[in-house]
Amino acid sequence: MNQAPPTAPPNGQAHSAPRPQLQQQAQSHYTLALLTLMSAVAFMDRQILAVLIQPVKAEFGLSDLQIGLITGLGFALSFAMLGVPLGRLADRGRHRRLIVACRSLGGLLAATGAAAMGFWSLMLSRCGGAVSDAGAGPASMALLAELYPVEQRSRVLSVFGTGSSLGALLALLLGAWIAQQWGWRWTLAIVGASSIALALLLRLSVAEPQSASDASNAGRAGQQPGAVRELLALPLTRWLLLGAACAFLAGYGFGTWNFSLLVRRHGLSLAQAGMVSAGAALVSVLGGLCSGALTDRLARRDPRWQIGMPALGLLLATPCGLAYLLLPPGPLLLAGLLIWAYAFFVIWWVAPVFAALSLVVGPARRATASALILLTGALIGNGLGPIAAGWLSDMLTRTLALSGPGDGLRWALVLMVLTLLPGALAFVMALRSYGPALQRARADAALRVQA
């Protein structure tokens, strides 16, 4: 018997069905863009003293070691105390609320640097960046993991990860311009106020996601103590943390001091050094996006590319960085090209590593796992990197009687870049345990769905 054809829904409802999905997708993209911009402003605050080193050093009469302590120690110590506890708090849900609170308070503390009277007060103001990133960083990545599917994870986190490069770009261009117009104190005040304004925008324009996992995540997080111990028991986590530590050490040590090296060794003005470094930051954005897209594509063929891409990036970045540092003063075009090549490859590890952890741990551990990586960055990268480079610069200049312009700093950065090699080795070692860890995670996810 012939069936009557289905009648079209009245009022064009057949065409309205996809609208909720499109609206949700648009809201997810808006949230991703806003979180990335907030991350960029927060990182701009962390990097702004790399631009302001010369005027700050001149006003307070500081040594390179003291500058390294200011740019790293205040942030690192605060992050060490706050990173994991705030990561655990993020695993209990309410990600937006935590992001707003941490970015606002962090911006307020960072802005107090405008009233600094010397070494100690300026170093204490750097704690604002730790408050901002310790809570908002893991919560942002956990929120994005809720909003986007697994097959887009590396790409989405690579977009969010461009916040650091965009922040460096803002510091080098906008920060340098503000400092030239109104001085370094107004620069710190404006950056801190911008973070507060963006936090308010997130509060007003983004709703707290009510995913099905919110309540269950909170329950599991409360019922299963020892999240850090559980994560560190995984060989994969330990190797990834070691690789990240080496990459952070080289990245922050080089990134904090290269601006000054361009001024000291190559005789560039602050504006010229800012342009070269801004180009490197822009190239770093492209490198991060390229890494995320390539990883998602290659991992569909072989999941091991999720870890192989970080190892490849560090291996390609090392000769570029060394070739730049071994150049004699003068060939600025070649120096700029090598800096940009280094910046393009050295960022390749970030998004794939964060995505790998989000794929092998359950929803109730994602923010804590991200917090461990960020804690490594705070202690080893932001904390130790600038201090080690500054100390090595002072020591090498004294003990080796280096007389060339910026020679002590140049050789200190050579040692920093060489730490990329053990980082690449650690990622290669992580390849052995990634496959089994991924299989266990998929089996656990299937059991959770059945339950």
Mean pLDDT over 123-128 rounds to 74
Mean pLDDT over 364-377 rounds to 81
Mean pLDDT over 172-180 rounds to 82
Cβ-contact 99, 140 below 8 angstroms: yes
Q: Is the pLDDT of residue 414 over 80?
A: yes
Q: Which of 12-16, 74-78, 179-183 has the lowest mean pLDDT?
A: 12-16
Amino acid of residue 204: L
* Threshold 0.95, pTM exceeds: no
Mean pLDDT over 75-82 rounds to 77
Q: Which residue has the higher pLDDT, 293 or 168?
A: 293
Q: Which of 105-109, 352-356, 396-400, 411-415 has the lowest mean pLDDT?
A: 396-400
pLDDT at position 1 is 45
pLDDT digits (tens, 9 = 90+) for 312-351: 999 999 999 999 999 888 778 888 899 999 999 999 999 8
pLDDT at position 348 is 93
Enter the DSSP assignment of 212. T
Nearest to 247 by CA among 46, 381, 384: 381
- Average pLDDT for the chain: 81
pLDDT at position 223 is 40
Neighbours of 220 (CB within 10 A): 18
Distance CA 129, CA 132 (A): 5
Long-range contacts of 221-229 (CB under 8 A, 24+ apart): 221/88, 221/91, 221/92, 221/364, 222/92, 224/364, 227/88, 227/91, 227/364, 227/365, 227/368, 228/84, 228/368, 228/372
pLDDT at position 296 is 87
**What is the token pair recorded at 369?**
């796992």
How large a percentage of the chain has pLDDT more than 70? 87
pLDDT at position 71 is 67
What is the full DSSP assignment across 117-163? -SHHHHHHHTHHHHHHHHHHHHHHHHHHHHHS-GGGHHHHHHHHHHH
Mean pLDDT over 300-311 rounds to 91
In terms of phi and psi (left: phi > 0; alpha: psi -120 to 50; beta: otherwise), the region of 23 is alpha
**pLDDT band at residue 373, thresholds of 50, 70 and 90?**
confident
pLDDT digits (tens, 9 = 90+) for 26-48: 888 899 999 999 999 988 888 78
pLDDT at position 451 is 55
Q: Which of 75-79, 357-361, 392-396, 412-416 has the lowest mean pLDDT?
A: 75-79
Q: Is the pLDDT of residue 276 over 60?
A: yes
Distance CA 204, CA 100 (A): 10
Distance CA 385, CA 423 (A): 14
Mean pLDDT over 135-156 rounds to 83
Cβ partners under 8 Å of residue 50, min gap 6 = 71, 171, 255, 256, 257, 259, 260
pLDDT digits (tens, 9 = 90+) for 177-213: 888 888 888 888 998 899 999 999 999 888 777 653 4
Buried b / exposed e along 387-412 (16+ C-beta atoms within 10 A): bbbbbbbbebbeeeebeeebbbbbbb
Distance CA 36, CA 159 (A): 7
Q: Which of 14-23, 95-104, 269-278, 359-368 has the lowest mean pLDDT?
A: 14-23
Mean pLDDT over 226-250 rounds to 87
pLDDT at position 224 is 47
pLDDT digits (tens, 9 = 90+) for 252-261: 889 888 888 8
pLDDT digits (tens, 9 = 90+) for 221-233: 444 456 677 788 8
Mean pLDDT over 235-262 rounds to 90
In terms of phi and psi (left: phi > 0; alpha: psi -120 to 50; beta: otherwise), the region of 93 is left
Mean pLDDT over 277-297 rounds to 87
